[in-house]
Amino acid sequence: MSKYLLTLALAMALPGIASAGTAKPAPRVFPVAAAPVLEDHYPVHVTQWPGGVTSLADVTYSTIPGYRPMIVDIYMPPKSAGPKPLVLYIHGGGWVAGHTRHSGALADFPAALARLAGEGFVVASLEYRLAAEAPFPAQVQDARAALRFLKGNATRFGIDPTRTGIWGGSAGGHLSALTALSCGDASLDAPGTKAAPGSECVQAAAIWYGVFDFAALSASRPGGQDGAAGKLLGCNGPCTAEKFAAASPTTYIDAKDPPFLLIHGTEDKTVPVAQSHLAEEKLKAAGVPVESIYIDGVDHSFIGKTPAQTREATLRAMNATFDFFHARLDKKSAAK
């Protein structure tokens, strides 16, 4: 074997030995902190939307030991004079499915949220722990944590924390209603939570086909059973009246609650329209401002018998919801 081939063979066999005349690479240098770093430093994904709206994807609002980081998508209007009202959206999915970027039959829900941001709101879409990950009240704890995170970073996101709305459909409607109605009730916070009183409160709530009373919902099911509620509440066998009451928004209704918008299809076979009728009755009895829209002939998620009926119902609900938040959270309205 020639000297050249012998040198090449040794270099290949012992990669730590540089061949003659090859400079040793400089040591690699990386930033090093004084303690373990747990924050996510992956660059935030920024998207530009029509009208100068900017969104941030997968922003971590809470890190709970034993669980994945909890995230929100945040949509911000163009920067202009003064902070903007906040609207937190909570998705549905029977408490066991769903994500931040879908709602009913809307073909492009992120674009719809960006449209709301373009009308002068900071909009956040929430991801929360599902029932298979953690039983109730983990889900409402997450909603409260997100509101506190967003308000605590009001300057960063351009938020007016005194003008906050919440919006959700189905399971998300339940969680939105419960969050809005339980303002100031620390029993729904995680043990050890340290937060300013009222930091989880909102000033307006829009609820689409939401669950308000679990006992009434269970009674409407064949045999009095509701598998989705049982999974959420962690019941072994039939849920107790106490468990139903603790998770039911109607339990928390009082005169201090914020204005509500209720929208429900009259033919809803998943969450009976009676749930919104019951909520409307109890809210009015407590003196809480409430508007209600019952859309004839449509099922859950505003699904009609034809695509045209689904489209009409969905657009009616969206326009009413946008108008409601303008009426309740725009600066002149909020000052009344």
Per-residue pLDDT tens for 297-328? 999 999 999 999 999 999 999 999 999 999 99
Nearest-angstrom CA–CA distance, 208 and 293: 10
What is the pLDDT, as a whole number, of residue 8? 46
User: What does the pLDDT read at residue 228?
Assistant: 79
Kindly report the backbone phi and psi dihedral angles of residue 137, in degrees, each rounded to the nearest multiple of 5, phi listed first: -100, 25
The pTM of the full predicted model, rounded to 2 decimals, is 0.87
Residues 6 or more apart from 157 whose CB is under 8 A from it? 74, 76, 122, 150
**Cα(258)–Cα(178) distance, integer angstroms:** 12
Number of neighbouring beta carbons within 10 Å of residue 228:
19
CA neighbours closer than 13 Å in the CB half-sphere of residue 186: 7
In this structure, are residues 297 and 268 in contact, taking their beta carbons and an 8 Å threshold? no
Tell me how crowded residue 155 is: count the other CB atoms within 10 A of its CB: 8
Query: By C-alpha distance, which of 87, 72, 74, 75 is closest to 261?
Result: 87
Q: Which residues pair with 72 in a beta bridge?
A: 59, 126
Strand 159-169: give its sheet, edge to edge.
45-48, 54-62, 70-76, 122-126, 84-90, 159-169, 204-208, 260-265, 290-295
pLDDT digits (tens, 9 = 90+) for 225-276: 567 788 899 888 788 899 999 999 999 999 999 999 999 999 999 999 999 9
User: pLDDT class for 44, splitting at 50, 70, 90?
Assistant: confident
End-to-end CA distance of the chain: 94
The contacts of residue 151 (CB under 8 Å, 6+ apart) are: 86, 159, 161, 164, 199
Question: What are the pLDDT digits (tens) for 16-40?
Answer: 445 556 788 899 888 888 888 777 7
Among 207, 159, 163, which Cα is nearest to 320's?
Answer: 207
**Could you report the per-residue pLDDT of 200-222, keeping only the tens digit for each?**
999 999 999 999 999 999 888 76
> What mean pLDDT is reported for the chain?
89
What is the amino acid identity at position 128?
Y
pLDDT at residue 191 greater than cutoff 50: yes
Q: Look up residue 199 and give its two tokens.
A: 């930091």
55-86 residue pLDDT tens? 999 999 999 989 999 999 999 999 887 899 99
Q: Using the Cα atoms of residue 32, residue 36, residue 39 and residue 40 in order, give the sign of their dihedral.
A: positive
Give the model's confidence band at 331: pLDDT under 50 very low, under 70 low, under 90 confident, else very high: confident
